[in-house]
Amino acid sequence: MQQKNNPLHGITLERLLTELVDQFGWEKLGQWIDIRCFQNNPSIKSSLTFLRKTPWARSKVEALYLETRPDSET
């Protein structure tokens, strides 16, 4: 059963973060979302670990992803 009201359904946190990094880079992400894992020695692995343990930060990253993705993607 699909989750029609969940625009992030089927998108892993790793894919979401990787796409944001590819599109904007760590420096820009660190400016927009003030978390150290984006600003000091950033890596996908360390950021995923932090985001999985920190709901408020994950929410900010997910919101940024939804705001910046093309409308044609689902």
Write down the pLDDT at residue 9: 84
Q: Say what the pTM is.
A: 0.83
Domains of the chain: 13-68 (1.10.720.30)
Question: Which three-class secondary structure state does DSSP give residue 20?
Answer: helix
Q: Measured on CA atoms in the order 44, 46, 48, 54, is the torsion positive or negative?
A: negative
Taking CA atoms, 31 is separated from 7, 9, 12, 28, in Å, by 25, 27, 23, 5
Question: Which three-class secondary structure state does DSSP give residue 25?
Answer: helix
Least confident of 9-13, 46-50, 61-65, 68-72: 68-72
pLDDT digits (tens, 9 = 90+) for 11-50: 999 999 999 999 999 999 999 999 999 999 999 999 999 9
- CA–CA separation, 56 vs 62, rounded Å? 10
Write down the pLDDT at residue 69: 81
Write down the pLDDT at residue 5: 79
User: Model confidence at 74, in pLDDT bands (50, 70, 90)?
Assistant: very low
